[in-house]
Amino acid sequence: MSKEIKNILVTGVGVMGSSIAQVFAANGYKTTMTDIKPESLESAEKRIHANIEGLKKEGLADESYAEAVAKNLSAIRMDELPGQAETFDLVAEAVYEDPKVKHDIYEKLVTLCRQDCIFASDTSAMDIFSVTKDIMVKPERLVIAHWFNPPHLMKLIEIVRGPETSDETTLATRNLLEKCGKKPVVLNKYMPGFIVNRMSTVICRELLYMADQGWASPQDLETALMYTDGLRWSFEGPLELVDFVGLKIPMAVAGVVLPTLCNDTDCIPYGDRLVAEGKTGVRAGEGILGTYPSDVEGYIAKRNRRIIRMYKLMNEFEKEDEEEAQ
């Protein structure tokens, strides 16, 4: 039997933490937000309100969604935490990605929270298990739950087990996220980059290597991926594609391709040169694919609209698969 989770604390309520709190509250969990900066709590409430209005505009939420968030979500200052800490079944930690900041918050949480409270760290790369090793009482209850931005839209969450994370903690975290409509995946040991960033790093390394060799332009490489795998990956991942084609052909192709792939293990030279030149991407106005518009907020809004359109389409695929399975 996995642990039942009813009351959740979200600590660190920036862009990620506030959206995470919104997800839990919308799905009926009593959720409390806190932050070392009291002004962040007010900003989080405004951000959540804007998120909900955006969802309603797109037909992804109704008034009952807003009412659930209002009913289940509350905020407290950090100095109020001692009076409530023992009520929490799970703490979703989303504080700044700095080892000292993370260590300091866990030092406080470990002292205040019950010893059966689960700690789920939203970190994109940090080995939280090593960072907290000297202070973590009952380390079997510590797990990474890596959300993607924006959390209220992106369904994937990477659950990463530490060397002592228990099966019960993993299952309880996975069940909670699934009940919130998410798609959790489990990495059974900490590895830098987890699952998604390891895959994306390999792909980017090869694309930038091909560009560096002059074999194709960055835009043509981008187009090649978008109009093949990009088209399919919303309903069929690379492993299912191999199954569809039949393993013999892809394995034969691999035998020819593997010896020619980039195998750099220290850096990606093409990317490092762009960084040195200040061409770091959208917010800098120029990146791998050339120049970007000065209206960064407009660019982000356009990107978010496209995420929402794909989100709706993938929901349709899920319903179709569920109906076929019945």
Of these residues, 49, 103, 146, 152, which one is catalytic?
146
Task: Write out the residue limits of the CATH 3.40.50.720 domain(s) in the chain.
Answer: 7-187
Q: What is the pLDDT of residue 3?
A: 74
* 143 three-class SS: strand
C-alpha distance from residue 228 to each of 1, 221, 241 (Å): 43, 11, 11
AA identity, residue 261? L
**pLDDT category of residue 1 using cuts at 50, 70 and 90:** very low
Query: Which residues of the chain are in CATH 1.10.1040.10 domains?
Result: 198-325
pLDDT tier at 326, thresholds 50, 70, 90: confident
Q: Between vectors from CA 230 to CA 289 and to CA 310, what angle results, nearest 5°? A: 105
Rounded to 5 degrees, φ, ψ at 187 are -105, 120
Judged by DSSP in three states, 96 sits in coil
- SS3 for 264? coil
pLDDT, position 286: 97
Encode pLDDT of 50-88 as tens digits. 999 999 999 999 999 999 999 999 999 999 999 999 999
Whether omega before 259 lies within 30 degrees of 0, making that bond cis, reads: no
**Cα dist. 160→121, 142, 167 in Å?**
9, 10, 12
Question: What is the architecture, at CATH level 2, of domain 198-325?
Answer: Orthogonal Bundle (1.10)
pLDDT for residue 200 is more than 80: yes
CA torsion, points 10, 11, 17, 21, in degrees to nearest 10?
Answer: 20
Residue-level pLDDT at 64: 97
pLDDT reading at 96 higher than 80: yes
Q: What angle do CA 79, 85, 87 make, to 5 degrees?
A: 145
Choose among 113, 128, 136: nearest CA to 158.
Answer: 128
Q: What is the pLDDT of residues 226-261, one digit of tens each?
A: 999 999 998 999 999 999 999 999 999 999 999 999
Question: Looking at domain 7-187, which of 3.40.50.720, 1.10.443.10, 2.60.40.10, 3.40.190.10 is its CATH number?
Answer: 3.40.50.720
* Average confidence (pLDDT) over 269-292: 97
49 is catalytic: no
Cα separation, 239 vs 229, in Å, equals 11
Q: Where does the pLDDT of residue 2 fall: very low under 50, low under 70, confident under 90, or very high at 90 and above?
A: low
Tell me the mean pLDDT in the region 113-137.
Answer: 97
What's the whole-model pTM score? Answer: 0.93
Closest by CA position to 145, among listed 102, 194, 101, 97? 194
Phi, psi of 212 (to 5 degrees): -65, -35
* 176/118 Cα distance (integer angstroms): 12
